[in-house]
Structure 1
Amino acid sequence: MLIVRSLLFNVAFYANLVLWLILLIPGALVPRRQFMELVKMWARTSVWLLRVIAGTKVVITGQEKIPAGGALVAAKHQSFLETFALLPLLDDPTYILKRELMWIPFFGWYLAKARCVPIDRKAGSLALVQMTARAKEEAQHGRQIIIFPEGTRRPPGAPPAYKYGVAHLYQNLGFPCVPIAMNSGLYWPRRQFIRRPGTVRIEVQDPIAPGLAREEFFKLVQERIETASNRLLEEGRAELGMGPDSRPETSLSKV
């Protein structure tokens, strides 16, 4: 049944994605805030499909810790799930993302409409300057800037590989940073088509006020995300009947 439910979910998920890509065409003409509400509706339908078809619930706690207005949101990144599941959690979110995503037809146009912040990874230090300027502009308009500090999806339990871009943003934005931990990789493993039934837990941590030294912040944000994520991984492994060192990285088909 796991394979069947996973297959059915993936078909429904991508069909729903294509449907919303079409539905959002006229939506591109409305103001950006209204457009983002439509995008959040897509995110909610995707989470609903995951629960109904795959039996995978998404439980988010700590929402009350998110400050009003502009903020830097630093989230653990273990699967594709959090790229959309975080959207309804925030008032006016936008993402730090690699520039190449902006070139994808329709999808890239919508990213531009949402005023996402692209980064050219080949531009070196200039990329940080450009990214910071754009992110600061958006944050000053009350938006929440989502960044995955490790830059890419990491398997559950893998050693942390945080990059200094998150510390650079924190120092230059002047807004609080909200760390977010999760165990999503156990239920939606990266590069696999399997979706395990159970409860994905996403946990908002206490915000880090602006003003810390770069190294102090860099150590603190890792500590908060990793400590909470490791605890959530233990809970998820217990739910799934996995051993403490098991990683859901070797399974059937990949996506």
Structure 2
Amino acid sequence: MSQSLQWIRSVVYTAQVYLAMIVFGLVFLPGALVSRRVARFACRSYARYAIWTLRWMVGVRTEIRGEVPTDEVMVAAKHQSFLDILMIFAVLPRAKFIMKRELLWTPAIGQYAWRIGCVPVDRGRRGQAIAKMLADVARGRAQPGQLVIYPQGTRVAPGVSIPYKVGTAALFRELGQDCVPVATNVGLFWPRSGILKRPGLGVVEFLPRLPADTPPETVLARLRTDIEAASDRLMAEAGPRTP
């Protein structure tokens, strides 16, 4: 497929998938405001729609590997693009995310994130942000589910290395739950920025969980080792390509 045609397909896909976000948001909004179940159904329906259209419009196939957790766990995921968010939310039964506070003011995304129990955090004020996150998580424990955190704190392009943040270990200690690491290679096909999507197989892989009694001081090192090794393996499996 020519690069110019792939660009056109990517532009069309991007336009329709964000238009669909508005449509889904407006259609389900009345029910979502009174029912958390409706809000979750709307978000999951949108995620599955976005993944479905991604396959036939731009040639990006997706695959979930590993054992998807259904109990109350902490999920520590590699974050490369919006696609891994969609894939994780589409398969977890009750996902709620640690998210940037400014996203609460984003139309549709903010209202639904609040309804499904996402936890907003302030970036850039490390000590205060961690304390506030732990307090908000403690208040939200009444809503069971899988709490998803991105240990590196942001989207990271394939091949780029940035530290894993200490807030992840603090959250692990606070929750007292098993932690499920998640690896991915989706940034090769849906980059962290830009419009061009590249055909291929995007994989999100749920790795063996770390038990709740894992020493918190070793959690970051364990997560970094497991997630980075598995993500490198998935990217190598995709073959040589330009991130």
TM-score calculated relative to the size of structure 2:
0.92
Which AA in structure 1 matches 2:174? Answer: N
**Alpha-carbon distance, 1:123 to partner:** 4.4
User: Who is 1:126 aligned against?
Assistant: 128
Which AA in structure 1 matches 2:186? Answer: S
**Deviation string, structure 1 residues 41-62 (Cα, Å, up to 9, x no partner):** 0100000010110110110011
Distance in 2 between residues matched to 1:155 and 1:122, nearest whole Å: 20
Distance in 2 between residues matched to 1:22 and 1:141, nearest whole Å: 24
User: Who is 1:77 aligned against?
Assistant: 79
Distance in 1 between residues matched to 2:33 and 2:54, nearest whole Å: 30
Same amino acid, percent of matched pairs: 35
User: Who is 1:16 aligned against?
Assistant: 20
Distance in 2 between residues matched to 1:230 and 1:140, nearest whole Å: 37
Q: How does 1:30-179 map to 2 (within 5 A)?
A: 30-64=34-68, 66=69, 68-139=70-141, 141-179=143-181
**Alpha-carbon distance, 1:109 to partner:** 1.8
Do the aligned partners of 1:187 and 1:200 also contact (CA within 8 Å) in 2?
A: yes
Do the aligned partners of 1:79 and 1:184 also contact (CA within 8 Å) in 2?
A: yes
**Alpha-carbon distance, 1:112 to partner:** 1.4
What is the DSSP-based 3-state SS (H/G/I as helix, E as strand, rest coil) of the residue aligned with 1:200?
A: strand
Q: Are residues 163 and 210 of structure 1, via their aligned partners in 2, closer, same or farther at CA, if it must alter by over 3 Å? A: same
**Alpha-carbon distance, 1:79 to partner:** 0.9
**Deviation string, structure 1 residues 143-171 (Cα, Å, up to 9, x no partner):** 11111111111110112421111111011
User: Who is 1:232 aligned against?
Assistant: 234
Do the aligned partners of 1:94 and 1:117 also contact (CA within 8 Å) in 2?
A: yes
Do the aligned partners of 2:122 and 2:129 also contact (CA within 8 Å) in 1?
A: yes
Distance in 2 between residues matched to 1:137 and 1:62, nearest whole Å: 30
RMSD: 1.6
Stretches (4+) displaced over 3 A: 136-141
Which AA in structure 2 matches 1:53? Answer: M
Distance in 1 between residues matched to 2:142 and 2:180, nearest whole Å: 16
**Deviation string, structure 1 residues 171-199 (Cα, Å, up to 9, x no partner):** 11100101000001100112111111111
Q: Are residues 3 and 153 of structure 1, via their aligned partners in 2, closer, same or farther at CA, if it must alter by over 3 Å? A: same
Q: Give 5+ residue unaligned stretches, structure 2.
A: none
Distance in 2 between residues matched to 1:196 and 1:101, nearest whole Å: 27
Q: Give 5+ residue unaligned stretches, structure 1.
A: 249-255
What is the DSSP-based 3-state SS (H/G/I as helix, E as strand, rest coil) of the residue aligned with 2:33?
A: coil
Q: How does 1:160-239 map to 2 (within 5 A)?
A: 160-236=162-238, 238=239
Do the aligned partners of 1:78 and 1:185 also contact (CA within 8 Å) in 2?
A: yes
Do the aligned partners of 1:71 and 1:139 also contact (CA within 8 Å) in 2?
A: no
Distance in 2 between residues matched to 1:223 and 1:122, nearest whole Å: 25
Do the aligned partners of 1:12 and 1:49 also contact (CA within 8 Å) in 2?
A: no
Do the aligned partners of 2:99 and 2:118 also contact (CA within 8 Å) in 1?
A: yes
Which AA in structure 2 matches 1:83? Answer: I
Q: Which moved more, 1:33-42 or 1:138-147?
A: 138-147
